[in-house]
Amino acid sequence: MKVLIIEDLHPFLKEELEKTDWQCNVQVGISKEKLKEIISTYDGIALRSFKLSKEILEKAKKLKFIARAGSGMENIDVEYAESRGIKCINSPEGNRDAVAEHALGMLLSLFNNLNNADKEVRSGIWDRKGNWGVALQGKTVGIIGFGNTGNAFAKRLQGLDVKIIACDKYKTGFETDLVQEVDLKTLFKETDVLSLHIPLNDETKFMVNNDFIQQFNKSFYLINTSRGKVVKTDDLVEHLKSGKITGACLDVLEYEGELFEEIRNQKPEIRNSSFDYLLKSEKVILSPHVAGWTNEAYLKHSQVLAEKIKTLNSEL
């Protein structure tokens, strides 16, 4: 059995699979055209962000599985792959703790003005009152999506004296002493801090838009460590300006990757005004889609995938 690894995954995956007589070929940085030429000779492929389209998969005559290091599968034409009997697996267990810790870190940094305070002190400004923070204690944290990362984030909130409520359209019966399971109407009514832990699909694309935001009874803080296009940037900025959204922690953006660089390099007078607002606002903390990546998560992804591939192999 042969597997092709086309992106930077922890060497553990290759080492573990080769213990069970897999042949692993690592070709990090392979081009789309080269992949189309060679994919027909492989039984499996492992990747992170490479776009695996129907055009490529049509050439994969022997392929039995696609293994993605990460949670979302939007870079893979899963529907077509599964129609061909190709199993699609991922590793959300590998980075759930990293995402949860990153989300909490961003929130605490925003609440305590740490980015601004650090910048001012380094510039010789000692403004204590101007950098007073906001207490997280006593707030109600609403979580949408209670899968791997939503659950892990709730656990990280233990000990912070907050009320945690969560809703998940596709999951029920998860209420515990720590988390109260609620419907969306209740979440709109009670939330002070909203954290998104949902995939990007036709249903969730730009879910957080003007109509969605207006349904909240109170002003709230937004955390998005899921996917950038779950949130409509123009509507987010409109409500940041009005105060309906008090602040935002954004690890992901509607404009990211190559599009981020393209917009960032434009002259200020022709750049997207909402994009510019996010870059300049002290109400916003940004990071480059890195919540799910720590040194530990880098290894965990490969550990999770190795176990899933071995289990899958025994079933084939």
Tell me if residue 256 is catalytic.
Answer: yes
Hey, which residues does 166 pair with through a beta bridge?
A: 143, 181
Q: Is the pLDDT of residue 265 over 90?
A: no
Q: What are phi and psi of 152, to 5 degrees?
A: -65, -40
Q: Is the pLDDT of residue 270 over 60?
A: no
From the candidates 227, 239, 254, 301, which is the catalytic residue? 227
Domain at 2-90, CATH homologous superfamily: NAD(P)-binding Rossmann-like Domain (3.40.50.720)
Tell me if residue 271 is catalytic.
Answer: no
Q: Is the pLDDT of residue 268 over 80?
A: no
Specify the range with the lowest mean pLDDT, choosing from 4-18, 281-295, 302-316: 302-316
Distance from C-alpha of 205 to C-alpha of 36, rounded to nearest angstrom: 30
Structural Rg of the chain based on CA atoms: 22
Note the pLDDT of residue 118: 96
Note the pLDDT of residue 316: 67
Between the alpha carbon of residue 197 and those of residues 142, 200, 239, 284, the distances in Å are 11, 10, 21, 19
User: pLDDT by residue (tens digit) across 192-211?
Assistant: 999 999 999 999 999 999 99
Is there a contact between 289 and 252 (Cβ–Cβ < 8 Å)? Answer: yes
Note the pLDDT of residue 110: 97
Tell me if residue 96 is catalytic.
Answer: no
The confidence band for 143, taking pLDDT boundaries of 50, 70 and 90, is very high
Is there a contact between 84 and 273 (Cβ–Cβ < 8 Å)? Answer: no
Note the pLDDT of residue 269: 64
The confidence band for 40, taking pLDDT boundaries of 50, 70 and 90, is very high
Is there a contact between 198 and 229 (Cβ–Cβ < 8 Å)? Answer: no
From the candidates 7, 58, 74, 256, which is the catalytic residue? 256
Query: Model-level pTM?
Result: 0.92
Residue that wins the pLDDT comparison between 208 and 275 = 208
Kindly provide the residue ranges of all beta strands, DSSP E only, lying in the chain, ordered along the sequence.
Answer: 2-5, 23-26, 44-47, 65-68, 87-90, 140-144, 163-167, 179-181, 193-196, 220-224, 245-250, 284-286
Q: Is the pLDDT of residue 267 over 80?
A: no
Q: Is the pLDDT of residue 251 over 80?
A: yes
Q: What is the mean pLDDT of the chain?
A: 94
Query: According to CATH, where is 3.40.50.720 located in the chain?
Result: 2-90, 94-286
Cβ atoms within 10 Å of 310's Cβ, excluding its own:
14
Q: What mean pLDDT is predicted for residues 97-117?
A: 97
Per-residue tokens: 51: 């776009």
Residue that wins the pLDDT comparison between 70 and 260 = 70
**223: which residues sit within 8 A by CB, 6+ positions away?**
103, 106, 107, 193, 194, 195, 196, 248, 249
Between 3.90.1570.10, 3.40.50.150, 3.40.30.10, 3.40.50.720, what CATH number should domain 94-286 receive? 3.40.50.720
The confidence band for 305, taking pLDDT boundaries of 50, 70 and 90, is very high
User: pLDDT by residue (tens digit) across 145-177?
Assistant: 999 999 999 999 999 999 999 999 999 999 999
- Longest distance between any two alpha carbons in the chain, whole Å: 66
